[in-house]
């Protein structure tokens, strides 16, 4: 029997033969012979079924041979129809921009892959003053797309606190209870049954993905202390369904440390994100944007590919990560930032520059 590699070579050879001649359709047996067809038969396959399968594979290879070289694929999807309004409108009649907690923007407290659930896994990030551990429950680790719901809650909590500090409202609590339609609108997702149902699993994964932080800091008396604390990405959740069994409202409780970070001081430690963040299609692309927003801000920053890989929590190889990262640099379509690859002392590094800074610099501002 032929192995997988031999089968691939056989299909490729057929495709080359079929594309190099213009003699019209030929039968598979005429091209490669009955014995070779029988040699690659799978258990239970008839001669005719094997010939038909090889014909399909050869046609597919022929299509790939003739396909023109594609331009770099965009990493930012186009907004869906009716998505012109970028801000979220709620009954309190005010618009809310997207906010994220600054303290966790340079590590991934979620998985970046849509396919790999990573149930039961632990990601550990070693930092200068401690470490961060992200632990997944049996339902799988929360993804960067699941985390969009946390961004929405943080954004509303930040806006509500701004109103409270200005004397225009009451101090908000930890519970956030939006309508499902408002959630999908804010996250710039299509409004449909599957999108609604997916939010139930999103809440479960956020509630069972635990983040533990160990850090060393100076105490009030000047002595060095080590603090260990941890919580899930959301403390609890409730999904309320309508009479048709479809989610209608979502109720989530923001993690205590995140709530304290936003409400405990005069200036909450959060950063505004571009509305097109939700349109970034790849997990690594989203992580790179968050990193640029945290490290470069309105200026520029440089990080080595190796450090970005280590901070991303990626389950793939460094080689594959670099391939994807180079594709993002080549597409160069992330919001706000221009990305370039430079040579560094320990390997390639990513230069992230805010586009407004580049315009101001070119104008001599």
Based on the fold, state whether residues 243 and 215 are members of the same structural domain: yes
For 19, residues 6+ apart whose C-beta sits below 8 A from its C-beta are: 62, 65, 66
**Structural domain boundaries enclosing 254:** 78-281
pLDDT range class, residue 270, cuts 50, 70, 90: confident
The domain that holds 292 is classified in CATH as: 1.10.10
Q: How many structural domains does the chain have?
A: 3
- Domain co-membership, 170 together with 225: yes
Which pTM value belongs to this model?
0.72
Same domain, 215 and 287: no
146 by Cβ neighbours in 10 Å (0-12 / 13-18 / 19+) ranks as buried
β-pair partners for 231: 211
What is the predicted pLDDT for the residue at 80?
A: 62
Considering the domain architecture, whether residues 179 and 62 belong to the same structural domain is answered as no
Q: Does residue 56 register a pLDDT over 50?
A: yes
* pLDDT at position 9: 40
Distances (CA, A) of 50 to 25, 31, 34, 35, 36: 18, 14, 10, 12, 10
- CA–CA gap between residue 272 and residue 100 (Å, rounded): 7
One domain for residues 227 and 88: yes
Domain end among 265, 281, 297: 281
Higher local confidence (pLDDT), 72 or 188: 188
Note whether 255 and 205 are same-domain residues. Answer: yes
Among 263, 281, 299, identify where a domain stops: 281
User: Could you report the per-residue pLDDT of 130-157, keeping only the tens digit for each?
Assistant: 999 999 999 999 999 999 999 999 999 9
Roughly how many angstroms between the first and final C-alpha of the chain, as a whole number?
70
**Angle of the 283-295 helix axis to the 318-331 helix axis, nearest 10:** 70
pLDDT at 87: 31
């Amino acid at each position: 029997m032929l192995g997988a590699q031999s089968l691939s070579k056989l299909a490729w050879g057929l495709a080359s033969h079929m594309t190099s001649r213009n003699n019209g359709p030929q039968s598979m047996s005429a091209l490669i012979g009955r014995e070779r067809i029988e040699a690659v038969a799978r258990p239970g396959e008839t001669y005719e079924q094997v010939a038909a399968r090889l014909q399909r594979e050869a046609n597919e290879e022929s299509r790939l041979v003739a396909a023109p070289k594609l331009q770099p694929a965009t990493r930012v999807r186009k907004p869906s129809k009716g998505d012109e309004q970028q801000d979220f409108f709620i009954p309190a009649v005010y618009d809310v921009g997207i906010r994220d907690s600054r303290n966790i923007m340079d590590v991934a407290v979620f998985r970046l892959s849509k396919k790999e659930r990573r149930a039961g896994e632990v990601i550990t990030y070693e930092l200068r003053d401690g470490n961060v551990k992200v632990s997944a429950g049996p339902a799988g680790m929360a993804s960067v797309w699941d985390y969009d719901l946390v961004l929405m809650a943080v954004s509303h909590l930040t806006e509500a606190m701004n109103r409270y500090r200005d004397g225009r409202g009451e101090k908000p609590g930890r519970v956030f209870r939006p309508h499902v339609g408002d959630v999908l609108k804010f996250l710039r997702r299509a409004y449909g049954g599957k999108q609604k149902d997916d939010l139930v699993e999103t809440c479960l994964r956020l509630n069972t993905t635990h983040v533990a932080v160990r850090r060393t800091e100076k105490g009030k008396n000047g002595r060095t202390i080590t603090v260990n604390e941890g919580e899930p990405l959301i403390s609890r959740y409730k999904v309320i369904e309508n009479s048709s069994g479809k989610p209608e409202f979502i109720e989530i409780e923001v993690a205590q440390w995140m709530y304290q970070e936003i409400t405990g001081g005069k200036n909450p430690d959060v950063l505004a994100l571009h509305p097109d963040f939700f349109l970034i299609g790849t997990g690594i692309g989203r992580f790179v944007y968050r990193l640029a927003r945290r490290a470069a801000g309105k200026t520029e920053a440089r990080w080595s590919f190796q450090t970005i890989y280590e901070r991303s929590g990626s389950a793939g190889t460094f080689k594959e990560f670099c391939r994807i990262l180079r594709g993002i640099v080549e597409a160069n379509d992330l919001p706000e930032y221009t990305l370039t690859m430079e040579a560094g002392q320990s390997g390639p590094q990513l230069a992230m520059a805010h586009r407004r800074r580049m315009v101001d610099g070119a104008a001599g501002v």
